[in-house]
Structure 1
Amino acid sequence: MEKIQLGIVKEVCSADKSSSGLPRPLVETLILKEGYGIEQDKFAGGDLEKTVMIIGTHSYDMAKAHGMDLKPGSYGENILFDFDPHELDVTNRLKVGDAIIEITQKCTLCNHLSVFGAKLPKLIKNHRGLYCKIIKGGVITRGSVAYKISM
């Protein structure tokens, strides 16, 4: 397996069934389970192609440049990286902590983000986040190293 180090996890977020709205709450650990999703996440057991949402600090920097200082989790992500995962392609695989995820699709434009600013959805339309499926379960925490891998 070839590995290229991309960066680290800045924050991890997960919303349990009692949570609603944004930002998604920060948590200490994400436990990813193949064929299920993120343990205790309200979206687990749903669409397995969209089990994990990733984003980079670049998306937050874009908002900040326009006067919107958002907290991690505001985009609804599960994993916030210190690099821009939008530079990767659909089908690319990432080893994060001891889990492996595969990028399946770009997130669609979400008007829910307009609660942070009317211009935000269009401003970040190409950096809204990426959906991933879980290839190999594992644990991800703040500070976990992320690698692009090829099998």
Structure 2
Amino acid sequence: MVGEQGDGPRVVAVSRDGEHRFSKPLVDEVVLVEGWGIEGDAHAGTTVQHRSRVARDPSQPNLRQVHLIHAEVFDEVAAAGFHVEPGQMGENVTTRGVDLLGLPTGTVLHLGDSARVQVTGLRNPCQQINDFEPGLLRAVLGRADDGSVERKGGVMSIVLAGGTVRPGDGIRVELPAGEPQPLQPV
């Protein structure tokens, strides 16, 4: 359920939940389905599945099929006194060794042997994070030197190619061609 430490970018843990809950239980593997998301996860689908977004416009394309978060953020919030483990912030894939927040929009992440996801934007941390652990929202929302908001809740993506992803799988980063476009909340 949680992968071993190793060299290079890798998957640390995978999670899914068929219900709309904040945290997702760890599983031994997840199956990514092209254009759909994670098999058996409540956020899978071609159109938006996030409840507040469905209420606004259920026909929007689902740019949030797979949520990835970097385990390094758990280390960062631990220094502020919070204890967060993989899956607890609602992510499907917990990574280590990839600067997810620094990737440009459109980056393709190769997960394991065959799965590929395309990064669509930043997760916008919400009040549910404080419901999980009071004060945690402030720890995952910071301010950059220029005063802009830093969202540290991971990235969202769509599935380009299906496959099985397990803890310990390697990750390869494929940057998009052209001028890099910074990530925006989706």
TM-score by length of 1: 0.88
**Deviation at residue 6 of structure 1 after TM alignment:** 5.4
**What is the CA–CA distance in structure 2 between the aligned matches of 1:87 and 1:7, rounded to whole Å?**
14
- Please state if 1:124 is matched with 2:140: yes
Map 1:1-151; keep pairs closer than 5 Å.
Answer: 7-17=9-19, 21-45=21-45, 46-47=47-48, 48-83=62-97, 84-97=99-112, 98-125=114-141, 126-150=151-175
Contact 1:6 1:147 in 2 (8 A): no
Q: Which has the larger radius of gyration?
A: 2
How many aligned positions are there?
145
Deviations 1:111-130 (A, max 9, x none): 10102433211221221110
Give the root-mean-square deviation of aligned CA atoms.
Answer: 1.8
**Deviation at residue 9 of structure 1 after TM alignment:** 0.4
**What is the CA–CA distance in structure 2 between the aligned matches of 1:49 and 1:137, rounded to whole Å?**
16
**Identical columns (%):** 26
**Deviation at residue 41 of structure 1 after TM alignment:** 0.8
**What is the CA–CA distance in structure 1 between the aligned matches of 2:73 and 2:175, rounded to whole Å?**
26
Q: Secondary structure at the match of 2:159?
A: strand
**Deviation at residue 35 of structure 1 after TM alignment:** 2.0
**What is the CA–CA distance in structure 2 between the aligned matches of 1:110 and 1:121, rounded to whole Å?**
7
**Deviation at residue 101 of structure 1 after TM alignment:** 0.5
Higher relative contact order (CA 8 A, sep 6+): 1
Contact 1:106 1:131 in 2 (8 A): yes
Select the structure that is richer in strand: 1
Deviations 1:91-115 (A, max 9, x none): 1111001101010010112110102
**What letter is aligned with 2:102?**
E
**What is the CA–CA distance in structure 2 between the aligned matches of 1:111 and 1:85, rounded to whole Å?**
22
Moved more, 32-41 or 5-14: 5-14
**What is the CA–CA distance in structure 1 between the aligned matches of 2:125 and 2:131, rounded to whole Å?**
14
**What is the CA–CA distance in structure 2 between the aligned matches of 1:71 and 1:91, rounded to whole Å?**
27
Q: Secondary structure at the match of 1:50?
A: coil
**What is the CA–CA distance in structure 2 between the aligned matches of 1:39 and 1:71, rounded to whole Å?**
22
